[in-house]
C-alpha cells in the first residue's frame, strides 16, 4: 500500500452534527431560492410601483403648486364648489323628496277637512306655490356662506371616508381642512386686513401638513391618492411653509398688489429657475414614456 493511501486511512471523519449542519444550510438555501423564484413577479410589480411613485414625486417637486389651495384646476374642488351653489341642491340637510312628502302630507290634511271641490282646487294651486317658495328658500343658491361651507365639508367627508360615518381618518381630516381653507381664502381675498382669519388659515394649513405626513408614514398608497385628489404635491406637504407676504405675492392672493419688492437679480434668477424646471419636467416625462414602452415590449 502506498504512503498516500495509508495517510487517507487516518483522515478524520466528519461528525454527524457537522453533516446535519451542512444539510440544513443547503436546504435553507434551496428553500430561499424557491421562495424568491415564486415571489419574483410580485417583487417586480412592487418595484415598478415604487419607481412610479418616486417619478411622480420628482415631477411634483418641479411643478409650482400653491401649498394652501393646491392646483388651480383640481377637478374635485371645482366639482364640490359648483355643487354647493346649485339651485337644485337644498341646504339644512333637506332633499327634494323630503320637502315634497312634507308639503303633500300637509295638503292632504287640509283637503280632508274641505268638502267643496272648488275650494279643493284652489288649495292645490296654493300648495304648488308654497312648495316653490319653500324650495327657493332652502336652495343653496340663496344660502349664506356658512351653509355652503358646511355642505362642502359634508360632501368631502363622504367622498374620502373609508367606511360610512368615518370622521377620524387622516385623509378625511385633510379633505375637510382643504375645503375650510378654500372658504377662508375667499374671505381673506375680500378682507385683506382680517389678521385673525389669516392666522387661522396659516395654522390650518400647517395642521394639514402634519396630518398628511402622518398618513404618508402610515399608508403611503393612501397618502399619494389623497394628495392627488386634493390637488396637492409631496413637495407642498413637506416644505417649510409660512403664510407670509412673500407667499401672498407669489401666488397672487391679491392680484396687482406688491407686498415684497424684489431686485432685478432675484427676478432674473427666478426666470432661470423656471426655465430649468420646465426643461427637467420635459425630460422626466420623456424618460417616463420611454421606460413604460420598454417595459411593455419586454
Q: Does position 240 have pLDDT exceeding 60, yes or no?
A: yes
Provide the β-strand partners of residue 237: none
Condensed to tens digits (0 to 9), the pLDDT of residues 9-68 reads 445 555 544 444 454 444 444 444 555 666 777 777 777 766 766 665 555 555 678 899
pLDDT of residue 276: 76
Burial class (CB in 10 A: 0-12, 13-18, 19+), 84: buried
Q: Give yes or no for a contact between 136 and 142, defined as CB atoms under 8 angstroms apart.
A: yes
Walk me through the domains of the chain, giving residue ranges and CATH numbers: 144-243 (1.10.287.10)
What gap in Å lies between CA 187 and CA 122, rounded to an integer? 47
Give the number of other Cβ atoms within 10 Å of residue 62's Cβ: 17
Q: Does position 143 have pLDDT exceeding 50, yes or no?
A: yes
What gap in Å lies between CA 288 and CA 208, rounded to an integer? 30
Cβ-proximal residues to 284 (8 Å cutoff; 6+ apart), any chain = 55, 58, 59, 62
What gap in Å lies between CA 116 and CA 118, rounded to an integer? 6
What gap in Å lies between CA 143 and CA 183, rounded to an integer? 14
More confident residue, 130 or 283: 283
Q: Which of 133-137, 174-178, 284-288 tops mean pLDDT?
A: 174-178
Mean of all residue pLDDT scores within the chain: 75
More confident residue, 272 or 80: 80
Burial class (CB in 10 A: 0-12, 13-18, 19+), 53: middle
pTM: 0.59
What integer is the mean pLDDT of 196-217? 95
Q: Which three cell numbers stand for residue 46?
A: 412592487
Q: Does position 260 have pLDDT exceeding 60, yes or no?
A: yes
Condensed to tens digits (0 to 9), the pLDDT of residues 59-107 reads 555 567 889 999 988 999 999 988 887 766 666 666 666 666 666 666 6
What gap in Å lies between CA 232 and CA 60, rounded to an integer? 9
Can you tell me which residue has the cell 415571489? 39
Q: Which of 8-17, 177-186, 242-251 tops mean pLDDT?
A: 177-186
pLDDT of residue 147: 83
Torsion angle in degrees (nearest 10) through CA of 48, 49, 51, 54: 170
Q: Which three cell numbers stand for residue 232?
A: 396637492
DSSP code of residue 91:
S
pLDDT of residue 282: 73
What integer is the mean pLDDT of 109-138? 60
Provide the β-strand partners of residue 70: 66
Amino acid at each position: 500500500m502506498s504512503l498516500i493511501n495509508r495517510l487517507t486511512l487516518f483522515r478524520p471523519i466528519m461528525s454527524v452534527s457537522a453533516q446535519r449542519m451542512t444539510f440544513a444550510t443547503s436546504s435553507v438555501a434551496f428553500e430561499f431560492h424557491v421562495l424568491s423564484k415564486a415571489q419574483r413577479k410580485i417583487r417586480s410589480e412592487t418595484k415598478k410601483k415604487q419607481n412610479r411613485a418616486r417619478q411622480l414625486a420628482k415631477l411634483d417637486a418641479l411643478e409650482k403648486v400653491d401649498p394652501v389651495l393646491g392646483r388651480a384646476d383640481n377637478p374635485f374642488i371645482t366639482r364640490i364648489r359648483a355643487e354647493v351653489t346649485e339651485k337644485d341642491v337644498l341646504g339644512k340637510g333637506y332633499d327634494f323628496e323630503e320637502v315634497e312628502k312634507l308639503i303633500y302630507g300637509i295638503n292632504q290634511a287640509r283637503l280632508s277637512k274641505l268638502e267643496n271641490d272648488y275650494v279643493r282646487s284652489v288649495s292645490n294651486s296654493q300648495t304648488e306655490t308654497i312648495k316653490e317658495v319653500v324650495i327657493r328658500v332652502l336652495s343653496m343658491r340663496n344660502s349664506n356662506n356658512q351653509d355652503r361651507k358646511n355642505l362642502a365639508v359634508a360632501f368631502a367627508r363622504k367622498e374620502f371616508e373609508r367606511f360610512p360615518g368615518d370622521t377620524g381618518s387622516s385623509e378625511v381630516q385633510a379633505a375637510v381642512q382643504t375645503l375650510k381653507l378654500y372658504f377662508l381664502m375667499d374671505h381673506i381675498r375680500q378682507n385683506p386686513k382680517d389678521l385673525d382669519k389669516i392666522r387661522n388659515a396659516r395654522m390650518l394649513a400647517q395642521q394639514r401638513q402634519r396630518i398628511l405626513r402622518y398618513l404618508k408614514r402610515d399608508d403611503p398608497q393612501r397618502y399619494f391618492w389623497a394628495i392627488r385628489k386634493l390637488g396637492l404635491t409631496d413637495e407642498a406637504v413637506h416644505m417649510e411653509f409660512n403664510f407670509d407676504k412673500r407667499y401672498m405675492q407669489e401666488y397672487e392672493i391679491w392680484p396687482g398688489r406688491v407686498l415684497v419688492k424684489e431686485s432685478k437679480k432675484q427676478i432674473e434668477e427666478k426666470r432661470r429657475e423656471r426655465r430649468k424646471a420646465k426643461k427637467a419636467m420635459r425630460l422626466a416625462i420623456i424618460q417616463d414614456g420611454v421606460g413604460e414602452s420598454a417595459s411593455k415590449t419586454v
